[in-house]
Amino acid sequence: MYFKLFPIGIVCSPFKTRQEVPRQGEEILPPVKIEIFSKYLTGLRKLAEGQSIYVLTWLHLADRKILEVHPKGDRRLALHGVFATRSPDRPNPIGLHLVTLEQILEDGIIVHPLEAIDGTPVLDIKPYLSREGIY
């Protein structure tokens, strides 16, 4: 049994490989554009510039067979199950990014900070709910 995902858009970023993306370096990440495919643009209605949103991406370069990793690739740290980490390598490599919606364009949005390489497929956008901050 499986489910089919269809990308709704794509990340346009200056970073072309996983190695180029700064880790936990959100201050130095540039704002990036997410192009939303025309058939899905209606779905953006009522989003507002300045609000916090989740962007869900498909981490297309991930290794889906991996179930344990050393956090941050540091072999001095004990092996963790992938569900205890944010490793892109995991059975269903869905990326979860909490970002600020900086600008709404005719064909997409500008967000910050988004750690994702150029060409990363985008699956979904959801508003952040303030009650999520209480955890």
Run of H or E residues at 110:
strand 108-112
**According to the binding rule CB under 8 A, does residue 21 interact with its own copies?**
no
Q: Does 23 bind its own copies (CB under 8 A)?
A: no
Is 125 a binding residue for its own copies by CB under 8 A? The answer is yes
Shortest Å, Cβ 18 to its own copies = 18
| Nearest to 110, CA basis, from 11, 32, 10, 15 | 32
Residue type, 8: I
Q: Which C-beta is closer to its own copies: that of 13 or that of 120?
A: 120
Is the sign of the CA dihedral 61, 64, 65, 69 positive or negative? positive
CB 19, min distance to its own copies, A: 22
* 30 vs 27: CA distance, rounded Å: 8
Among 82, 110, 114, 117, binds its own copies (CB under 8 A): 82
123 phi/psi in degrees, rounded to 5: -105, -35
If one asks whether residue 75 binds its own copies (CB under 8 A), the answer comes out as: no
Let me know the angle formed at the C-alpha of 15 by 76 and 39, rounded to the nearest 5 degrees: 120
- State which of residues 68, 72, 105, 107 lies at the interface with its own copies (CB under 8 A): 68
Site residues, its own copies (CB under 8 A)? 1-8, 40, 42-47, 52-54, 56, 58, 60, 67-68, 78-86, 90-92, 94, 96, 98, 100, 121, 123-129, 132-133, 135
